[in-house]
Structure 1
Amino acid sequence: FPVQRGLFGKPTGVNNVETLINVLEILRIGGAAYAAIGTEGSAGPRLLCLSGSVMRPGVYEADHGITLGDALEMAGGVDGELKAVLLGGAAGGFVGPDRLDIPLTFEDARAGGYTLGSGVVMALNATVDLADLCLRIARFFRDESCGQCVPCRVGTVRQEEALRRLVSGRTIGTREQEIALLDEVAQVMRDASICGLGQTAANAISSAIGALGVFGGDAADAADAVPTPTEEQES
């Protein structure tokens, strides 16, 4: 890991550009003024990558606490009928169009079972095939797994295989059995993977099944679909 052996073989701190820019703002206006922006638990502004079915995709800055609906309006609103929003990127989770009032803060995300993750806010209109999108996300994690630990190396492959069977309609057993298998694989990856990639590889798929009913999952189980993210995973 870079903090142990990074640049020139020395321990290296890794920060993203947004963190460094916020440091400059704190130095410019002072810590107290910066802390007054946003909410008590989520100080300062946040960069949101608004994409998908919005009129003006781009990177927008907003104070923590802005609602999901207001964030989408920053990008000109949704192009067409909103079906779902993917929050936090591939390792995040889906929310339905009935949750546009949720505040985008770390504390509300933890309480509500969603995540801000990388700041991705991807709107998906009625023309988007959510099942195919889930398969693409699973393929991404399969390709990105470094292969060091078995739960992630094998789990991401098994996850993609099950989703491919569900998408094609050629399931092994019933759809319910395939969904149960996905749930078991997801739990193993969360509990036993070494790093955050494996621990979050099933988040989006689990939320699509639980919160949106993709593949015939029970939307009533939305609260249990994705575990509340830890602060480490959110960052």
Structure 2
Amino acid sequence: MDYRARLREASKEIIERRITSDNELRKIADKYNLPLSTVRTLSTFYFHNHSEVQVCMGLPCLLKGAREVVKELERRGTKYSITYCLGYCDKGPVTRIGDGYYTFINGEFREIEELRSDYVWSQYEPLDKYIARGGYKYFGKFLSEGNKLFILELLIKAGLLGGGALGRFKALADSANRPRYLIVNGHEGEPGGFKDRLIMERNTHQLLEGTLLLSLALNVDEVIIAVNERFRNARAMIERALDELRPFLASRGLINRLPTVTVSLVGSPYIVGEETALINSLEGNRGEPRLRPPDPTEAGLFGKPTAVINVEVVAAAPVLLGNYYEAREITIEKYFCITGDVDKPGLYREKLTIGLNELLAKAGAKEENVKAIFIGGVSSGLVHSSKIRVRLMPEETRKLGVFLGPGVIIALSNYRCIVDVMLEVERFFSHESCGRCEPCRLGTKELVEVLEKTSMGKASEEDLRWAETVARIMMETSLCGLGMSAGKVFLDALTQFRDEFEEHVKGVCRAGVHFR
């Protein structure tokens, strides 16, 4: 193997086995003939501050009592580390202990049954059942189509892909540069997000059919389904489905007409979900974002044209194709992950014409009790409750400066302190910053520092103005979306709830969280 191949194999093994000990890293370095410093930097990037007990401090878990979990572990003298999303946000507060996931109720840790591998395995839909409900019904017809890019237009029309994607993907499909790749992005690191994991676990064959449809449309040679290493059950379900699918395709003489499909674990840090960082992780590097241009569709995985498409979008392709061939309306229900101050957190599937207030009502939140909502997650933006009747259509949410992509909805009730919430949000961004660019690395720390001072009543109006300046610089100059999002969401909060920030400057917290 050449150096790059050895590096990829070393990275795979580090991620697969979650290797952090120096002794094991030395063995990896020797095994793949790599410098110890190289394998160590991979381990520290993917598993910094890693331990067998991890407490999720992502906002959904925090709102459900993650601080109490920390207190209990400290009372017991248990070593633990902090992480910011384990991917099971509707079960919060969640703690990973070994390979098990536990919630914390009435002072006790209780294993979450639905997250056990045997439970997930029992929910698997076999290929014959998927076919019985219409799976692969139009696959042969689509295979005979000349220009297959119309399926991307269906995804755009349904609001699942942005209009700019078509030109980029068409250029990829027409490129003479081979091989061409499709990466199905199953990282889903956004706090509050769990739809993609559930699709990978429970709608596995639908995801694989969508993968094949889009790979044909894009004329790619190889498909890699990239799965967050925390979602081991999802990886197992995809591998199980592929083992069923390959003989089925071979029996119909299709296996040689389709690209190869493999599944690969990638590192769990939030930043790895960014498409160029995901590509770096698959290449065996640290999962850090790349400078653009070039766009991945021009030079992505191994320098070749690469499309990166989200799990939910890929899984929607067979449904929309059926609508098209049956001359039905090109619409689809979107998955929403609702958490926060709601009575019934969970996964909801609704048309994009639904109002935010209606969606929250389904989850048990009363409109008059809602102070603010993160629409699209903390990386998208914070919206004041006065906008709660917005229709969740892309053209409407864009007017509010937020995007629906991850489908994450986090509700904050009237008794929440915005300063306290934003402090934890910016701590998340600071923790997950890869540190490559100064605006993000330094800016997130500055915002955390100002918010800490504000929460203690030690900030001034000048501090707030300085933080506002820092946030704007982050939005304008950060290398990737993490720094931009950290700046934007801070400005969202400061602009819409400035009165609460100014009250804290004066030593007043209307929610009673601080200065008690």
- Normalised to the residue count of structure 1, the TM-score between the two structures is 0.79
Match of 1:207 in 2: 492
Please state whether the residue corresponding to 2:371 is helix, strand or coil. Answer: strand
What displacement does 1:113 show?
2.8
Q: Which amino acid aligns with 2:348?
A: Y
Match of 1:144 in 2: 432
Match of 2:311 in 1: 17
Please state whether the residue corresponding to 1:85 is helix, strand or coil. Answer: strand
Identify which range, 206-215 or 78-87, moves more after superposition. 78-87
Instruction: Quickly say closer, same or farther: Cα 1:65–1:80, change in 2 above 3 A.
Output: closer
What displacement does 1:114 show?
3.2
Q: Check conservation: 2:361, 2:367, Cα contact below 8 A.
A: no
CA distance in 2 between counterparts of 1:125 and 1:91 reads 19
What displacement does 1:108 show?
1.1
Match of 1:61 in 2: 349
User: Given the alignment of the two structures, is residue 133 of structure 1 paired with residue 421 of structure 2, yes or no?
Assistant: yes
What displacement does 1:203 show?
2.2
Structure 1 unmatched ranges of 5 or more: 38-43, 218-235
Instruction: Quickly say closer, same or farther: Cα 1:5–1:158, change in 2 above 3 A.
Output: closer
CA distance in 1 between counterparts of 2:483 and 2:403 reads 16
Please state whether the residue corresponding to 2:328 is helix, strand or coil. Answer: helix
Q: Which amino acid aligns with 2:308?
A: V
Match of 1:182 in 2: 467
What displacement does 1:149 show?
0.8
Q: Check conservation: 2:440, 2:483, Cα contact below 8 A.
A: yes
Pick the aligned partner of 2:453 from 149, 165, 169.
Answer: 165
CA distance in 2 between counterparts of 1:100 and 1:14 reads 32
Match of 2:323 in 1: 29
User: Given the alignment of the two structures, is residue 106 of structure 1 paired with residue 400 of structure 2, yes or no?
Assistant: no
Instruction: Quickly say closer, same or farther: Cα 1:33–1:5, change in 2 above 3 A.
Output: farther
CA distance in 2 between counterparts of 1:4 and 1:130 reads 36
Summarize deviations over 1:24-79 as a string: whole Å, max 9, x none.
Answer: 212332276353x2xxxxxx322111111112111111111211111112213339
Instruction: Quickly say closer, same or farther: Cα 1:164–1:6, change in 2 above 3 A.
Output: closer
Higher relative contact order (CA 8 A, sep 6+): 1
CA distance in 2 between counterparts of 1:185 and 1:117 reads 26
RMSD: 2.4
Identify which range, 134-143 or 4-13, moves more after superposition. 4-13
Q: Check conservation: 1:91, 1:202, Cα contact below 8 A.
A: no
Match of 2:340 in 1: 52
Q: Check conservation: 1:87, 1:121, Cα contact below 8 A.
A: yes
Please state whether the residue corresponding to 2:492 is helix, strand or coil. Answer: helix
What displacement does 1:2 show?
5.8
Summarize deviations over 1:143-176 as a string: whole Å, max 9, x none.
Answer: 11111111111111111111111111122xx2x2
CA distance in 2 between counterparts of 1:59 and 1:120 reads 10
Match of 1:76 in 2: 364
Instruction: Quickly say closer, same or farther: Cα 1:123–1:4, change in 2 above 3 A.
Output: closer
Q: Count the aligned residue pairs.
A: 207
Q: Which aligned segments of 4 or more residues in structure 1 are displaced greater than 4 angstroms? A: 2-6
CA distance in 1 between counterparts of 2:376 and 2:277 reads 24
Please state whether the residue corresponding to 2:308 is helix, strand or coil. Answer: coil
Q: Check conservation: 2:447, 2:467, Cα contact below 8 A.
A: yes
Q: Check conservation: 1:209, 1:216, Cα contact below 8 A.
A: no
- Normalised to the residue count of structure 2, the TM-score between the two structures is 0.38
CA distance in 1 between counterparts of 2:340 and 2:317 reads 30
Identity of aligned residues (%): 31
